[in-house]
Amino acid sequence: MEKFALFMVLLNAALLSGNSYLHLFLILFISLGFFAHGLGFLKLIRLLALPFGFIVLGSISIAFSLHADPESSLFCFDTMDLCIGLEEAGLNKALSLFMKAMAAVMALNYLILSCSLSEINDIGRRLRIPLILRELFVLTYRYISLLFSFTNQVHISQRNRLGYVNRKKSVLSIGMLFSSVFIKSLLFSNRSLEALQSRGYDGEFYFNEQNMPIRLKQVLLLILLGILLIVIHFVTSI
């Protein structure tokens, strides 16, 4: 719950504030925390690669306008009586949204990397989150990790067999990669269902509950961090 409380402080600071300096501070603060606990820079880049791509595409769609003013636009393309341009207001809004989304993604990565599956499920149970949502989360969490594991194994096998030496073989190998991962996922799903049913699965996953006392030091640090974020928000907004 201490980790979840810290996650909520970071997430609310990212979503409720429109200050890009605060978002940059959150990104650097969480990144330094990852580095201090042994996560390498390249691993962090791979972790952020997928959400970064979606956020960039969303930001670009906001930055450009179909009916831009040619005189006030930074540049403009005239086509079919439309001025597709990049205005300063749209660019600022896209940059603000990009920083906010990246700060929120970093906060979510902190929760996922710092809490185990059983801890997150226990947090959901304590917060009275419906059982169906907790079950979907557990299954999704598990299958995403297996999907990456299967994909990595098949990719290494294909690369060792020279499956990516040229463009033609690369396209063929990618198609075989998707099909083999899909088949492996179906097989694992059936085996997992059979294993759960043979163990008396009744619709809820049970984990060992961890009851730990509230540490006053951690609570004070959370309060100080919240105050620091508020101060950064107002100081940089002046």
Residue 79's pLDDT is: 61
Is there a domain that residue 105 lies in?
A: yes
Is there a domain that residue 176 lies in?
A: no
Q: Residue 87 carries which side chain, given as an amino acid letter?
A: E
| Partner residues linked to 82 by β-bridges | 79
Please name the residues in contact with 206: beta carbons below 8 A apart, sequence gap of 6 or more.
Answer: none
Is there a domain that residue 59 lies in?
A: yes
Is there a domain that residue 175 lies in?
A: no
Is there a domain that residue 181 lies in?
A: no
List the pLDDT tens digit at each of the 238 positions of the chain: 888 888 889 989 888 888 888 999 999 999 998 898 888 888 888 888 878 888 888 888 787 776 556 565 666 666 666 666 677 777 788 888 899 999 999 998 888 888 877 788 788 888 888 877 877 777 777 777 777 778 888 888 888 888 888 888 888 888 888 888 788 878 877 887 788 778 777 666 666 666 777 788 888 888 898 898 888 888 887 6
Cα 74 to Cα 66, 68, 82, 85, 126: the distances in Å are 14, 10, 16, 7, 52
Is there a domain that residue 233 lies in?
A: no
Structure token digits, residue 90: 């749209």
- Range 32-41, long-range pairs (CB < 8 A, 24+ positions): 33/110, 34/109, 34/110, 34/113, 39/113
Distance CA 38, CA 215 (A): 25
Instruction: Look at phi and psi of residue 212 and say left if phi exceeds 0, alpha if psi is from -120 to 50, else beta.
Output: beta
Structural domain of 11: 1-115
Q: Residue 119 carries which side chain, given as an amino acid letter?
A: E
Residue 60's pLDDT is: 82
Is there a domain that residue 67 lies in?
A: yes
Q: Residue 181 carries which side chain, given as an amino acid letter?
A: V
Strand locations in the chain, DSSP E? 64-65, 73-79, 82-87
Count how many domains the chain has: 1
Distance CA 232, CA 22 (A): 6
Residue 101's pLDDT is: 92
| Partner residues linked to 84 by β-bridges | 77
Distance CA 95, CA 10 (A): 19
Is there a domain that residue 91 lies in?
A: yes
Distance CA 205, CA 192 (A): 13
Residue that the structure tokens 């980790």 belong to = 3
Residue 205's pLDDT is: 66
pTM of the model: 0.69
First-to-last CA distance in the chain? Answer: 34
Residue 100's pLDDT is: 92
Closest CA to 34 of 106, 122, 88: 106
